[in-house]
Amino acid sequence: MNDKQERKEEIKTAYRELGRANSLYDGMMLGTTRIGRFILKHVWNMTIEDAMEYQAAAFEPIPSDFSGKLLEVPVGTGVLSMPVWKRLPSADITCLDYSEKMMESAQERANKLGITNITFQQGDVGALPYEDESFDALVSLNGFHAFPDKQAAYDETWRVLKPGGLFTGCFYVSGRNLKTDRIIRSFYIKFGFFTEPFETIDSLRDRLSRMYSSVEVNNVESIAEFHCTK
């Protein structure tokens, strides 16, 4: 097993140790509830292991001994990130979300896990409250498909990242599974969970390649996982 595979397995182990999710949202992310497994299978055409694969891949580029400044936006409930941040005791971590309710759940989870090297802030990814080139790494999990002003989100995440910094994450892309695309159009958009327009794998790779010096984009079904260097 090479270093990348070892890092990915380490992250998956952190998820397995998390225990049962405590909300509908968390259950959908991890497939730890009956409805979560149903949605994974019938909306996303994934197994629990598939979901863990793209989630772990989004974190894998961050070294296990990372000690720089890291921004996560949006943090959501922290169900995906807190088990990983717990294992980065030397990092300076900032978590931002527009939803104060979601962020409160993430903060509660951080407190339960004993994570002390972390700051939470309410804010908008389209107008990040940070100076240029403030962070060594930026993580965005399942956010860009929901952001209403995606161009501003791309611009702002690039702005606050230091030269040589890492941008990594995952989100929904269209064109990979027609059934998923239909459900997104008829339900997720209608109820305001996702916001058009959406990237495809090719458009995401093209966009990131114009902004960053090194880009890798992969997918598991309709979820793209990417990591790039500024």
Distance CA 171, CA 183 (A): 16
On the CB side of 203, how many CA atoms lie within 13 Å of its CA? 9
Q: Could you report the per-residue pLDDT of 139-196, keeping only the tens digit for each?
A: 999 999 999 999 999 999 999 999 999 999 999 999 999 999 999 999 999 988 899 9
Structure tokens at 108: 């509660």
Beta strands, E only, 79-158 = 92-97, 118-122, 135-141
Domains of the chain and any CATH numbers: 65-229 (3.40.50.150)
At 102 the pLDDT is 86
Task: Give dist(CA 192, CA 83) in Å, integer.
Answer: 28
pLDDT at 34: 82
Query: Is the pTM for the entire model greater than 0.85?
Result: yes
pLDDT in tens, 88-140: 999 999 999 998 988 998 999 999 999 999 999 999 999 999 999 999 999 99
